Chain A
């Protein structure tokens, strides 16, 4: 299915292609709708591979930290940061300004907040005041509920009862600098991004939106961009070597979308 792009469709900055590493214990894992996790490989090795392929940023999320009430394994974050010279966003189990400091000192440039922020929205504002908007990414795990979407926590396991649109609006008011918008329904399914969700959030978002969940091929990435995503995040098709970052960027460029071409 080819994407239909409006004429003269332009984007202000290059579309960022962002591999996402889901951390569990010492491994990077991947599942379907965040369940049935399979081990993919070592964090440092995958980070290096995607950096060398031309990833524009990396996302590294400990997907069980909040669930088990653990804090992030900073050694793993350090091992990832050591390999890459592109921006790194880290999330999972962050519950204090101290936690953020530790993660930044371990080599992250930005932090992604979900579970703790949903329970304590004021924490987003504190974090923004301390570290600046550019450092604070709101991570939203959205599941379809009737006409809208509900925000989930703990890696798509627990529901919060919060409507995604209202929650994102509140978080924007508290100063978050970016939104990582995950469709739990699409995650790991390779059925394309949830473009309705993206269009809905992008229609009012004043900060960049990173789409995640459902990436299938370059056409699906382009669909997410046309729906309003500023960046596309993906894992399955890269982890299981169904395509490479240069192939995806080539596909985006063929659809007249501007991407960064990295030189050797």
Chain B
């Protein structure tokens, strides 16, 4: 099983790679479209602005590579900015088209309760709504209300609630913290920085990748 971390020039790829290597022998980073097309699964990391992220993907010709992988049913995990890029549109520094793999947009935090600062930085619980099943997903082994590490100023807002796998509350506002469409997942938090619970999630993602290869 071959997992590739998409290197599109933004943020810290090393911590995601270090964590994935615990669960996958063939994990590395690449910005080469051919190499990424040959992978069984992709991870889209990233720290920075939506516009810079899309630009980084486009100049390397990687937007189509990620879309094709999604259409082929390959597992994809977007982390933080990488999760936001999966949606159709961002609003950071003006409107900007996203990958459009999951319909929805990326919006700023609405006004928050007193004492809540933006960015939302730190550990917050991630909950799967009652109507949603965690079975077979990256959250299958994650206990309810597990704390994950967040650093973000913008929110994932999928158009259709069926694409919300988990939610988190901050400053009196509840938002999608994990989005999912088929084998495509996006986490607003950083599983690679979320201690044992984050590693559990990545281990599940690696299992989903292994199952997808067998099918």
Chain A interface residues (CB < 8 Å from chain B): 11-14, 16, 51, 54, 56, 81-82, 85-87, 104-105, 107, 109, 132-135, 177-178, 206-208, 230-231, 260-264
Contacts and interface: CB of A to CB of B under 8 A. Distances in A.
Interface in B73-115: 112-113, 115
A262 B195 contact: yes
A262 B146 CA distance: 8
Contacts of A13: 120-124, 170
A86 B149 contact: yes
A12 B117 contact: yes
A12 B122 CA distance: 9
B47 A207 contact: no
A263 B143 contact: yes
A86 B116 CA distance: 22
B117 A260 contact: no
A263 B122 contact: no
Contacts, number: 82
Interface of B: 12, 14-15, 18-19, 47-48, 112-113, 115-117, 119-124, 143, 146-147, 149, 151, 170-171, 192-199
Contact of B123 (A16, A105, A133, A177): A16
A77 to B, nearest CB: 12
A231 B146 CA distance: 19
Contact of B19 (A85, A132, A178, A206): A85
A133 B117 CA distance: 13
30 contacts: A12-B116, A12-B117, A12-B171, A13-B121, A14-B122, A14-B123, A51-B195, A56-B122, A81-B15, A82-B18, A85-B15, A85-B18, A85-B19, A85-B194, A85-B196, A85-B199, A86-B149, A86-B195, A87-B149, A87-B193, A104-B12, A109-B193, A132-B48, A133-B119, A177-B121, A262-B147, A262-B197, A263-B143, A263-B196, A263-B197
A56 B121 CA distance: 12
Given A134-B47, A263-B197, A208 B122 contact: yes
A151 to B, nearest CB: 23
A105 B112 CA distance: 34
Contacts of B47: 132, 134-135
A258 to B, nearest CB: 9
A261 B195 CA distance: 11
Contacts of B119: 133-134, 177
Contacts of B147: 14, 260-262
Nearest to A231: B122
Contacts of B197: 262-263
A133 B198 CA distance: 24
Q: What is the predominant secondary structure among interface residues of chain A facing chain B?
A: loop
B113 A12 contact: yes
A50 B193 CA distance: 14
A134 B121 contact: yes
A264 B196 contact: yes
Contacts of B116: 12
A16 B12 contact: no
Given A14-B147, A263-B143, A105 B120 contact: no
B14 A105 contact: yes
B193 A85 contact: yes
A39 to B, nearest CB: 28
A104 B48 CA distance: 14
A257 to B, nearest CB: 13
A87 B189 CA distance: 12
Nearest to A11: B115
Nearest to B146: A263
List 7 tightest A-B contacts by C-beta distance, closest first: A13-B122, A12-B116, A14-B123, A260-B147, A260-B123, A134-B151, A87-B193
Contacts of A82: 18
Contacts of A261: 147
A206 B154 CA distance: 17
A230 B122 contact: yes
A130 B15 CA distance: 20
B123 A12 contact: no
A82 B15 CA distance: 9
B195 A85 contact: yes
